[in-house]
């Protein structure tokens, strides 16, 4: 399998594209999309970028995608985006079903990549996206890393997942040949999906994806190296900084694992997790962490020992015992939870965040110049604050990111 050295791209003018993820907003229909873009996204853009063009990562599920399949609907939507000076350079197609239902939890993983329906709708979304994406920009579509872990790690499931990813990569190559626009799939590892870490995704890529690509395409006349080149061009990673922090995965090392394996990071979701250090010494803070439970999303947790090993995991906050004792938990020095918190905050109430690790990941991308899409994805804002404070809250996140990026902050979107 091909391995590549980690190096700095020789591109002194490199600037990433910036956006926030619209999955923070409720809405599954095209009318809903128009509504939240007008109410929230345009004001955020004006606060952050003024009258200049601003980027959007559009969350596109089955509902709105079904409507945007119609050329007339896409034409009207493109006109709206142009009028509002918004550019969709990235799509979030991870949650295909209602992301703001009363209970999302395990439903967010449906359909999995072992099911043909995931391929079909991702391909539909890619076709729509190709029409929305301006000339001269590359696009990214973030998506589920396989499926829900308990049911998608057996060998037959892994083979189906690989074959289905390959089918979408083939569609993306077809779209590029037809339109000249390059759109990459960006697979998003997170706790309790088929692939959680860089090591797991790299292993899957080498042992399943490359063989599946060769099996599918060499019969069409592509050489082995051509198959691998196509795969590496259109199959990338969406590196969500919260997800890797929850699992105590070092951000710099994880990013470099992907790059050494020749897998690009097509997009970074800039996010932070909740953290509690010394839970036994802070019983009040521990109670506060347990009270963060809510009925909509999973908030997986991990505990790390003083020796640096992950020794405790749970699917959701109710799995934390009401009181820590020597019998009901291993001795942990820190607990982290998959609970996206505003990235500019070092603390949420009395709990800590993983903001420092988020910063390390962003700085590594800036150093390497290997990822061009940076997207703030605090989809949990409605759990933290009132709707009327949302625009300013997201603008505060951008302001923190501006401080981290320094001279790499883009003066304007490159369109």
Q: Alpha-carbon distance 381 to 392, whole Å?
A: 11
- Residues written for the chain: 415
Query: Model's pTM, two decimal places?
Result: 0.96
Cβ-proximal residues to 389 (8 Å cutoff; 6+ apart), any chain: none
Q: Which of 161, 156, 160, 173 is nearest to 220 (CA)?
A: 173
Asked whether residue 303 is domain-assigned, the answer is no
Q: Alpha-carbon distance 107 to 143, whole Å?
A: 14
Q: Is 101 exposed, middle or buried (0-12, 13-18, 19+ CB in 10 A)?
A: middle
The label of the residue with tokens 């559009």 reads 58
Q: Which 3 state secondary structure label does DSSP give 273?
A: strand
Total count of domains within the chain: 1
Asked whether residue 297 is domain-assigned, the answer is no
Cβ-proximal residues to 29 (8 Å cutoff; 6+ apart), any chain: 63, 64, 67
Asked whether residue 302 is domain-assigned, the answer is no
Q: Alpha-carbon distance 69 to 226, whole Å?
A: 31
Asked whether residue 201 is domain-assigned, the answer is yes
Q: Which of 20, 34, 27 is nearest to 100 (CA)?
A: 27
Asked whether residue 299 is domain-assigned, the answer is no
Question: How is 282-337 classified by DSSP, letter by letter?
Answer: -HHHHHHHHTT--SSS---EEEE-TTS-EEEEESSGGGS-SS--TTTS---SEEEE
Q: Which tens digit of pLDDT belongs to each residue from 175-232?
A: 999 999 999 999 999 999 999 999 999 999 999 999 999 999 999 999 999 999 999 9
Cβ neighbour number for residue 160 with a 10 Å cutoff? 21
Pairing of strands 139-144, 183-188: parallel
Question: How is 384-411 classified by DSSP, letter by letter?
Answer: HS-GGGHHHHHHHHHHHHHHHHGGGS-S
pLDDT at 12: 62
pLDDT at 413: 60
Identify the bridge partners of residue 353 per DSSP, sorted by sequence position.
274
Question: Which residues in the chain come in under a pLDDT of 70?
Answer: 1-13, 411-415
CA-based radius of gyration for the chain: 21
Identify the bridge partners of residue 267 per DSSP, sorted by sequence position.
238
Asked whether residue 47 is domain-assigned, the answer is yes
Pairing of strands 301-304, 310-314: antiparallel
pLDDT at 326: 74
Cβ-proximal residues to 411 (8 Å cutoff; 6+ apart), any chain: 15, 52
Q: What's the Cα-to-Cα distance from 333 to each of 275, 280, 281, 288, 291, rounded to whole Å?
A: 11, 8, 9, 17, 20
Asked whether residue 7 is domain-assigned, the answer is no
Terminal CA-CA length for the chain = 37
pLDDT at 138: 96
Q: Alpha-carbon distance 379 to 376, whole Å?
A: 9
The two three-digit tokens of residue 90, written as one number: 């990235």
Asked whether residue 215 is domain-assigned, the answer is yes
pLDDT at 411: 65
C-alpha atoms less than 13 angstroms from C-alpha of 276 in its C-beta half-sphere: 26
Q: To 10 degrees, the CA torsion angle through 401, 402, 408, 412? A: 110
Domain span at 222: 17-276+343-408
pLDDT at 68: 98
C-alpha atoms less than 13 angstroms from C-alpha of 156 in its C-beta half-sphere: 2
Cβ-proximal residues to 32 (8 Å cutoff; 6+ apart), any chain: 25, 26, 64
Tell me, what CATH number does 258's domain have?
A: 3.20.20.150
Give the distance from CA 281 to its chain's centroid: 34
């Amino acid at each position: 399998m091909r391995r590549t050295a980690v190096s700095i791209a020789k591109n002194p003018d490199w600037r990433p594209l910036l956006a926030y993820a619209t999955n923070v907003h409720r809405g599954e229909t095209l009318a809903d999309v128009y509504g939240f873009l007008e109410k929230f996204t345009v004001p955020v853009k004006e606060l952050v970028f003024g009258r200049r063009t601003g980027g959007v990562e559009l969350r596109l599920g089955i509902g709105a995608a079904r409507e945007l399949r119609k050329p007339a609907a896409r034409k009207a939507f493109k006109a709206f985006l142009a009028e509002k000076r918004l550019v969709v350079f990235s799509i979030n197609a991870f949650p295909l079903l209602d992301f703001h239902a009363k209970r999302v939890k395990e439903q967010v993983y449906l359909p999995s990549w072992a099911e043909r329906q995931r391929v079909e709708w991702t391909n539909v979304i890619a076709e729509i996206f190709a029409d929305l994406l301006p000339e001269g920009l590359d696009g990214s579509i973030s998506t589920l890393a396989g499926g829900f872990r308990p049911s998608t790690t057996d060998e037959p499931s892994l083979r189906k997942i690989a074959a289905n990813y390959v089918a979408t990569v083939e569609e993306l190559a077809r779209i590029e040949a037809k339109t000249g626009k390059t759109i990459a799939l960006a697979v998003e590892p997170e706790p309790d999906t088929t692939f959680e870490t860089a090591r797991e995704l790299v292993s899957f890529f080498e042992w399943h994806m490359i063989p599946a690509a060769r099996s599918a395409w060499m019969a069409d006349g592509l050489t082995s190296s051509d198959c691998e080149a196509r795969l590496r061009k259109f199959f990338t990673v969406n590196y969500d900084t919260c997800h890797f922090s929850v699992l105590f995965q070092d951000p710099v090392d994880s990013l470099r694992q992907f790059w050494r394996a020749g897998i690009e990071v097509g997009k970074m979701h800039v996010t932070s997790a909740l953290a509690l250090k010394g839970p036994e010494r802070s019983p009040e803070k521990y109670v506060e962490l347990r009270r963060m439970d809510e009925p909509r999303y999973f908030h997986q947790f991990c505990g790390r020992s003083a020796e640096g090993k992950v020794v405790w995991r749970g699917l959701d906050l109710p799995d934390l015992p009401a009181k820590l004792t020597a019998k009901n938990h291993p001795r942990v020095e820190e607990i982290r939870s998959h609970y996206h918190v505003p990235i500019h905050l070092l603390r949420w109430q009395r709990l800590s965040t993983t903001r420092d690790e988020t910063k390390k990941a962003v700085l590594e991308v800036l150093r390497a110049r290997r990822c061009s899409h940076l997207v703030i994805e605090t989809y949990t804002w409605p759990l933290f604050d009132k709707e009327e404070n949302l625009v300013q809250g997201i603008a505060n996140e951008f302001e923190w990111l501006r401080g981290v990026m320094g001279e790499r902050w883009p003066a304007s979107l490159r369109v």
